[in-house]
Structure 1
Amino acid sequence: MKYSEAVQHKKESLKKAHESILNGYHIVIVPADTDESAKYIEDFLKSPEKFNDESCKKYSSNDEYEVVSFKKEDE
């Protein structure tokens, strides 16, 4: 999906998500390409506070995105 569609999908996901999901998982927009997505998530996990939704654009070569969730690491 295009970036604007991914933003809307993320907003809807956040509205519907249970509080335990919001507290225990990252919900992020990532490049649709698997390798680009893996690199983005790897970098994101190093410093999540440095990333925002638009950060994924730098990692995408084809302007296609998806919304994913993954468990937050215990701090």
Structure 2
Amino acid sequence: MKYNEALAYKKEALKKADESVLQNYHIVIAPADTAESAKYIADFSKKPDDFNDSSCKKYSSNDEYEVMSFKKEADE
């Protein structure tokens, strides 16, 4: 999906998410390409506070995105 679609999808997902999901998982927009997504998540995981929704654009070569969630690290 395009970035604006992914942003709307993420906003809807955050509205519907259970409090425990919000506390324990990152919900992010990431490149749809698997290799680009892996790089984005690796960098994001190091310093989540340095990223915002549009940060994913720098990692995408084809302007295609997906919304994903992954477990937060214990020390966050």
Segments ≥4 residues shifted beyond 2 Å: none
* TM-score between the two structures when normalised by the length of structure 2: 0.98
Is 1:37 aligned with 2:37? yes
Match of 1:7? 7
- 1:1-75 alignment runs, 5 A limit: 1-75=1-75
User: 1 CA distance for matches of 2:24 and 2:73?
Assistant: 8
Cα distance in 1 for residues equivalent to 2:46 and 2:54: 17
CA deviation map 1:14-68 (0-9, x unaligned): 0000000000000000000000000000000010000000000000000000000
Matched residue of 1:27: which SS?
strand
2:42 alignment partner, SS class: helix
Letter paired with 1:43: D
Which letter maps to 2:69?
Answer: S
TM-score by length of 1: 0.99
Counterpart of 1:29 in 2: which secondary structure? Answer: strand
Percentage identity across paired residues of the two chains: 73
Residue segments in structure 2 that go unaligned for 5+ positions in a row:
none
RMSD (Å) for aligned C-alpha atoms: 0.2
Give 5+ residue unaligned stretches, structure 1.
none
